[in-house]
Amino acid sequence: MLKDKKILLGITGGIAAYKSVYLLREFVRSGAQVRVIMTPMAREFVGPLTLATLSHHPVYIDFFDHTTGQWFSHVDLGLWADAFVIAPLTANTMAKMAYGQADNLLVTTYLSARCPVFVAPAMDLDMYRHPAVQQNMKILASRGVHIIEPAEGELASGLVGKGRMAEPGDIVAFIRDFFSTEQDLTGKKALVTAGPTYEMIDPVRFIGNFSSGKMGFAIARELVRRGAQVFLISGPTSLDADEPGIDLIRVTSAREMYEQAEKIFPQVDVAVLAAAVADYRPAEQAHTKIKKTGDELLVRLVKNPDIAASLGQKKRPGQLLVGFALETDNEFTNAMEKIRKKNFDFIVLNSLRDKGAGFGVDTNKVSFIFPHGHRKDFPLKSKTKVAQDIVNQIVQLLNSK
Ligand code: CTP
């Protein structure tokens, strides 16, 4: 799979840099052409001579060669590569990437690279857990950088926990998987709804729910990875999606989400409705903050538009509509009823009874239910992997439509 792929291997200054030597060998063994860029600090951890010998090419560290005066173009390096893999990625380089600092050849190349970028962070336990690092990692992920998560284990400091760079074999497998994924949704357009909706009671209070938006954002990312163009309509969430291919439309209420979905639906091939839309909203929204008066306050609620049902009615032949159902009881019967009422092609069912499934967490355990009652059950997986299963199913159905 990596035969003749051009891989730019970035090495930053951490103790895990010794593993980059093995990583480089694995890439070369898999048939890839590799060029290496190091930060000046990385040179302290691993010798450029070793890397140059294994990659059959001089290693890039500075912007120019001091002896010949030859200039190394970060633009050319970025354009040459099919993939830029930075392993290990230190907290320092991660911060520079997140904030667009360009004070060495590696980070400058990152800013001008057009190819997919993969990073394998490696740092000490507390450093990895630090909110600044977590925040920077989120920023990179939201811009489409592929994070190859560190593993748990003994760290160079002697501490035990998360922070060890992923093993070279796992990094190569990750990149191989990426390239083996077919761009089977190229030219397709998709609509995804995500997150909760907030229904205002007065200017400072709302009715909402615990949806984090993680599942919908993961689906949007997976669709883009497979070549689709995505309109992601999201209710209030702390998540971001700045990468090319995703058009993020932020809304607050169910009615706003409905308006946007109605507008976009006619032009898409598939819509995945992962949002937890509030079924009701306050009949009246007070213009000023409601003051505390009597012992009781009654808020009368009226029904919100059902986005799924409305799109289901308008669905053209060839268009796919995928829904979600989060149930606490009578899961299967309720899911079947929703498929029928909303004209879904299939529904992703998750039960709040399953540990690790549902709101806020990074994992989910789902079943797909189809209109004729057929079901496919999946084990507990990361939301990213669940998104892959959903998109695989979508591709299969689109091909058979
Ligand atoms: N949905 C929607 N618009 C709504 C309510 C739900 O688009 N106003 C979509 C959800 O995004 C989801 C599916 O419909 O894909 C099922 O949502 P759910 O809340 O489980 O279904 P409801 O029809 O609201 O049924 P109930 O709340 O009674 O279980």
Question: Is the CB of residue 97 less than 8 Å from the CB of residue 128?
Answer: no
- pLDDT tens for 202-240 read 999 999 999 999 999 999 999 998 999 999 999 999 999
**Do residue 135 and residue 230 come from a single domain?**
no
**Do residue 216 and residue 314 come from a single domain?**
yes
Nearest to 223 by CA among 401, 389, 399: 389
Q: The domain spanning residue 322 has which CATH number?
A: 3.40.50.10300
The preferred substitution site among 273, 321, 331 for testing ligand 1, maximizing ligand atoms within 8 Å of CB, is 273
**Do residue 55 and residue 124 come from a single domain?**
yes
Q: Is 335 in the pocket of ligand 1 (CB under 6 A)?
A: no
358 vs 352: CA distance, rounded Å:
6
356 φ, ψ (degrees, to nearest 5):
90, 0
Q: Please count the CA atoms within 13 angstroms of the CA of 312 that sit on its side-chain side.
A: 18
Residues serving a catalytic function are 209
**Using alpha carbons only, what angle is made at residue 127 by residues 123 and 130, rounded to the nearest 5 degrees?**
140
- pLDDT tens for 252-290 read 999 999 999 999 999 999 999 999 999 999 999 999 999
CA of 305 to the centre of ligand 1 (A): 10
- pLDDT tens for 332-361 read 999 999 999 999 999 999 877 777 776 667
Q: Is 338 in the pocket of ligand 1 (CB under 6 A)?
A: yes
Q: What atom of ligand 1 comes closest to residue 279's alpha carbon?
A: 8
Question: Is the CB of residue 146 less than 8 Å from the CB of residue 135?
Answer: no
How many beta carbons lie within 10 A of that of residue 175, not counting itself?
Answer: 26
Q: Which pLDDT value is given to residue 360?
A: 67
Q: What atom of ligand 1 comes closest to residue 322's alpha carbon?
A: 15
The preferred substitution site among 338, 340, 369 for testing ligand 1, maximizing ligand atoms within 8 Å of CB, is 338
Q: Is residue 12 part of a domain?
A: yes
Distances (CA, A) of 149 to 107, 212, 255, 376: 20, 21, 38, 29
Residue with CA closest to ligand 1 atom 4: 306
Q: Is residue 284 part of a domain?
A: yes
- Over range 100-125, report the average pLDDT: 94
Q: Which pLDDT value is given to residue 154?
A: 84
Q: What is the pTM of this model?
A: 0.77
Boundaries of domain holding 92: 6-180
Q: What atom of ligand 1 comes closest to residue 254's alpha carbon?
A: 8
- pLDDT tens for 176-191 read 988 887 788 999 999 9
Domain closes at, from 163, 180, 197 = 180
Nearest to 92 by CA among 62, 136, 145: 136
**Do residue 306 and residue 394 come from a single domain?**
yes
Please give the share of the chain, as a percent, with pLDDT higher than 90. Answer: 78
Nearest 10 degrees: CA dihedral of 17, 18, 21, 22?
A: -110
